[in-house]
């Protein structure tokens, strides 16, 4: 696989990484052109010349990934002076570190009015999403044409199992009548976010029910419910905006 093919694959797989590219080089340097992929764990692919300059760029790339911000770094390849990194080459090098962050992958459990409004916002933000519902004749590709997948089963538990939420999944729950079952099932997966619609009274009732069935307080503390940032939202579209805002905040 070529270098650029690897970059394309990482983007397609919605991975988080940084791309470090030499954008300026003066005087004597290990390389005048080069690019390198850096992963969150500090491993890398490609090269910008090796040695101390590559070591420092990898460290800065990991920091940039953690902060979620691209940056430009400059180094003087001498023993002394500003930006020096203890090399003898004598030149200077400038590197652009571009951060590629993972976009939320939404699992919309419930294809009703709010789920539909949320899917439209996901389309606008280019977020990948799947829809889960217990109504096969209602939750269709025609209703959700941009959905990556649609999982339906008369038993909502089975539909969620088909979706298989992962660490990248941002799960939102607004079913017609089985939010408690959907939440209990979603908590079995390592989701990045779980949010459930409902009034404070409804949430309290569901939480008490799930505690009685063995769900721990630690698990329930992961749940954002009532879902969304409090902006006094009323319409499905306003509620969807509050949910996306909370997801963006949680992701950051």
Per-position DSSP letters for 200-250, written without gaps between them = HHHHHHHHHHHHHTT--HHHHTTEE-S-S--S---SHHHHHHHHHHHHHHH
Cα(121)–Cα(217) distance, integer angstroms: 32
Per DSSP, the three-state class of 195 is strand
Query: CA quadruple 207, 211, 212, 214: dihedral positive or negative?
Result: positive
Cα-Cα end-to-end distance for the chain: 32
Q: What is the architecture, at CATH level 2, of domain 105-251?
A: 3-Layer(aba) Sandwich (3.40)
- pLDDT of the chain along its 252 residues, tens only? 788 899 999 988 889 999 999 998 877 766 678 899 999 999 999 998 877 788 889 999 999 999 889 999 988 776 555 555 555 566 788 899 999 988 899 999 999 999 999 999 999 999 999 999 999 988 999 999 999 999 999 999 999 999 999 999 999 999 999 999 999 999 999 999 999 999 999 999 999 999 999 999 999 999 999 999 999 999 999 999 999 999 999 887
> pTM to 2 decimals?
0.78
Cα(161)–Cα(173) distance, integer angstroms: 14
Q: Where are the domains of the chain?
A: 3-100, 105-251
Cα(66)–Cα(16) distance, integer angstroms: 10
């Amino acid at each position: 696989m070529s270098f650029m093919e690897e970059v394309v694959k990482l983007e397609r797989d919605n991975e988080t990484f940084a791309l470090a590219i030499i954008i300026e080089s003066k005087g004597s340097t290990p390389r005048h052109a080069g690019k390198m992929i850096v992963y969150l764990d500090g491993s890398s692919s490609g090269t910008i010349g090796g040695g101390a300059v590559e070591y420092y760029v990898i460290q800065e790339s990991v920091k940039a990934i953690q902060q979620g911000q691209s940056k430009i770094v400059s180094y003087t390849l001498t023993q002394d002076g500003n930006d020096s990194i203890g090399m003898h080459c004598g030149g200077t090098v400038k590197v652009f570190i571009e951060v590629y962050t993972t976009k939320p992958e939404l699992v919309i459990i419930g294809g009703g009015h709010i789920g539909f409004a949320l899917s439209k916002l996901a389309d606008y933000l280019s977020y990948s999403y799947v829809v889960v519902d217990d109504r096969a004749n209602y939750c269709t590709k025609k209703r959700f044409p941009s959905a990556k997948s649609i999982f339906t089963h008369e038993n909502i538990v089975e539909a969620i199992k088909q979706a298989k939420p992962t660490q990248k999944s941002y799960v939102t729950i607004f079913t017609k009548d089985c939010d408690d079952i959907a939440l209990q099932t979603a908590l079995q997966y390592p989701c990045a976010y779980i949010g459930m619609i409902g009034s404070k009274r409804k949430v309290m009732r569901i939480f008490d029910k799930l505690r009685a069935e063995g769900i721990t307080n630690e698990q329930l503390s992961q749940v954002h419910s009532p879902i969304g940032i409090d902006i006094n939202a009323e319409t499905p579209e306003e509620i969807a905006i509050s949910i996306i805002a909370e997801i963006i905040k949680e992701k950051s």
